Amino acid sequence: MAYVSLYTSYSVKIPQIQIMKNKILSVQNIGIENLGTLGELIHSDGYQVENVEAQKEHMPPNPEQYAAIIILGGPMAVYDKLEYLEREQELIRQALKMETPIMGICLGSQLIAQAIGGNVYKGQKKEIGWSNVMINQAGCKDLFMGSKTNNIRVFQWHRDTYDLPSNTAILASSDLYPQAFRFGSAIGIQFHVEIDDKMIRMWAEEYKQELKQEGIEMTELLGQREHEMKNLFGTCKLMYSNFSKQIKNKWMYH
């Protein structure tokens, strides 16, 4: 007996869900200022990191190929009008148009500030070492969502600061300067959450003349470091978690 199939093969169109972009661009302005502990969190989250040394390598022309961009620190100044810093600002402007998530740390935040029409300049006093930063109401709903305290202990190494456009949301401040802000898809952070003990030692050696001029001893940077490092890494994890949500919200179904 011949059997006839009761099933007919149909071509069914299944909506394509775009696979989330899995590469994050890290823009490094000097060798000793890298992703640090932030890099560990990025890798553990399943992302690959493409690192560009801004002084030596070409800036990628298309930010759309990256899930996010992180621009790191360095001792140079935005107002020095260095060509590679100008290229970074152009990358920031392109990324903002595409709503690509961007995080700028220290110099990176100053580059974002300048790129969005702010003004970067020398502040009245350097902030170097451990200090307190106050998270405001806007920050509690954004980058610092989930923080158990409004007063966080962070590591600083900068003098330059900025005035920001009126449509920028300040997220945190110290007694002297704005410390974190949001403008569209970009977040600027003036302080360092990515450092570890090794990195502090490297910076202290590299910038020892600056420490001498400021009358700062190495012990001040490393004092009670175990407790402070643990808390700082906790802040780094919290901030990265909130930034990661922004990345996923942008690309998961985009």
206 is an active site residue:
no
Amino acid letter for position 37: T
SS3 state of residue 126: strand
194 is an active site residue:
yes
Chain centroid to CA 240: how far? 9
- Of 33, 127, 158, 192, the active-site residue reads 192
Task: Kindly report the backbone phi and psi dihedral angles of residue 66, in degrees, each rounded to the nearest multiple of 5, phi listed first.
Answer: -110, 145
106 is an active site residue:
yes
- Of 33, 88, 127, 194, the active-site residue reads 194
- Of 33, 106, 127, 236, the active-site residue reads 106
How many CB atoms lie under 10 A from the CB of residue 150? 14
Which of the residues are catalytic? Answer: 106, 192, 194
